[in-house]
Structure 1
């Protein structure tokens, strides 16, 4: 794209992040090898990871593994355009039956082949010694115009399919897809800015500093600042929104279980001291906040069942429980009686009753 590379630390972080995500997705593919959308997304990340060192070499006009900068730029954008197709395929396989998605995927390969062919021809026409961002050279300008036009086409198609997929997705995913589609629209608009900007530079128009410090047109610079960067941010927010909301919901459940586990402490401490043989911690492999929470709830309820025949019904429950736990009882064959039974069904209602008893037990004399 016209905006080129940003600061080197950001590029390094991008490259490392792409490799880490690629390894993570490859591990997921081993678990679900038939997941076609995951294959498409893995292809996208793989293309990004491969394009990173090639783009870095082309930006610095250096030879890497014997590959000249112009060829590095060609391969970089070849895999980037292929990555755009992988992104399109991700939404196709997510929104359509497999046969129909495969058919449309093959159709999208036709404009990709045309674009890559043009990039290859223009690369061979670049004179020796000319940098890959010398937009005043016709072959270089044609290379970048082709790349930007295809990027605009690919991201526009992705945005359209993201909106179509959002119609049938659940609420959280649908909102994320709509946010991502707005970001994709911003990227498309930015690409549309870059094309006339390249034409202006090709015609010898006035240059202005770009994001990476090279000479670009003012039109291309503002296109990147006003549309490209916000578009990328919105696209990333949209893509990560469903997972982030899921993690937030999981954290809320984790926090609720941790607080309930702590509030059940007084009740569990008394019952565990009286009936230590019922402790589930003797079972190997039981750990984590959620498991400790469920274990404590079960142990509290089991302890109440065992002590319930000896509770004095004339006393307050917390006081009667303390008295019964301090008193030695013969193991008579008495029937258990209901203790701290909630008015409604469900584990949460049961835990609320146990917490109320636990807090009453803490202050009872």
Structure 2
């Protein structure tokens, strides 16, 4: 089962980062995308090389059996190097020099090849076996890989954490945190090689293929990295059901306020028969506009002195501070509807609209505010008192 999942992660790695390669080819210069694609391809090759299914290839080619562990580790070195290069290009620009880490990476690769050759391990079976005289070289080989990988990837993880913290909320921040999680998984994957060091010290034998924890960590690393780097492509589609549900919830929660305004001012309903026919987000947008239109239509009936009185009463009645503004809006609207019923104008028809709480100019913020006003409209005892008092003052039957 885990082998299948790991292969799936490899396919995702090749597909996702292959797309990035194509994007880079269409939009040169794009070294950053090339580095990202190189990371995905190398790490996918690293996982594939450790799969038990590759034993069939090893059975036909002796040279592959002997050098497969080295090839897999070199692919992981390549993934780490591309990760650092990608990070530097994000920090210093696409044309930034690769710097000291590129020199260090090539030096470490040469050292690893020399150490592996000196160790002369037998990798032809289910286990990698090394003679006593070659054991120190293979232990050094594993330790160099772990130290280099952990230090490099830790620097990358710190960079992405800082970048994600400063990024604006949205798909960019989410993608950066997913890449950060992928790098953390890569650190854990690298550290897992310490179990090979312990096995070498114990009896000079290590498994020739990836064990379960290593395969899981490797697959997790690829999936998270692909998800984070391609979030801009698939994120909107994945988020669509959540946006629909949020919009539908807002649409229903402001319905009581919209209904009473529609009954008072029927002309605000732009298309009463359409309902949710054009989608929940559009329906919510239309309903918000209609409520605001109803509010404007009632402006002659708003008592300009009422808001200050409602604020004072709200404070005396212990209304929570965060709900005072919504209570004021709901109470003044309730009084305006009663005044319209009595045809009692407090202001001329061309009077300015009553001042409401400042809300960001987007549908989500407007809907969130109208939900608060609707809650006060339905539940606030103060709003009910203002409605009754206004009816009594204007002689409107209850």
**Which of 222, 247, 268 is the aligned partner of 2:258?**
268
TM-score (structure 1 length as normaliser): 0.60
Deviation at 1:342, TM superposition (A): 1.6
Distance 1:83 1:96 in 2: 20
CA distance in 1 between counterparts of 2:270 and 2:25 reads 41
Matched, 1:157 2:143: no
Distance in 2 separating the partners of 1:298 and 1:237:
40
Name the SS of the counterpart of 1:275 in structure 2: helix
The aligned counterpart of 1:218 is none
Partner of 2:44: 49
Measured after TM superposition, the shift of residue 55 of structure 1 is 2.8
Alignment gaps of 5+ in structure 1? 1-5, 214-223, 328-332
Alpha carbons of structure 1 residues 304 and 26: separation in structure 2 relative to 1, 3 Å = farther
Match of 1:221 in 2: none
* Whole-Å separation in 1 of the counterparts to 2:218 and 2:50: 21
Deviation of the 1:95 alpha carbon: 3.4
Q: CA, structure 1 residues 39+272, in 2 after alignment: closer, same or farther (shift >3 Å)? A: farther
The structure-2 alpha-carbon separation of the partners of 1:168 and 1:134, relative to structure 1 and needing over 3 Å to count, comes to: closer
- The answer for the alignment partner of 2:77 in structure 1 is 81
Residue aligning to 2:293: 302
CA RMSD in angstroms, aligned pairs only: 5.7
Determine if the alignment matches structure 1 residue 360 to structure 2 residue 362: no
Structure 1, residues 180-207: CA drift from partner, whole Å, max 9, x if none? Answer: 88766655554345335324433x7xx9
CA deviation digits over 1:274-304, x for unaligned, max 9? Answer: 226745998xx97453x54333222221233
Number of equivalenced pairs: 328
Matched with 2:57 is 63
Alignment partner of 2:199 out of 194, 197, 206: 197
State how 1:276-291 maps to structure 2 within 5 Å. 278-279=270-271, 287=279, 289=281, 291=282
1:317 pairs with one of 312, 315, 333: 333
Give the match's secondary structure for 1:338: coil
| CA-CA distance at 1:54 after TM superposition | 3.5
Q: Distance in 2 between matches of 1:95 and 1:269?
A: 53
2:10 to 7, 15, 26: 15
> For residues 335 and 74 of structure 1, what CA distance do their matches in structure 2 show?
82
Cα distance, 1:19–1:148 mapped onto 2, change above 3 Å? farther
Unaligned runs of 5+ in 2: 168-172, 307-330, 388-397
Pairing of 1:181-192 with structure 2 (within 5 A) = 189-192=191-194
Cα distance in 2 for partners of 1:322, 1:337 equals: 19
Question: Which residue does 1:146 correspond to in 2?
Answer: 141
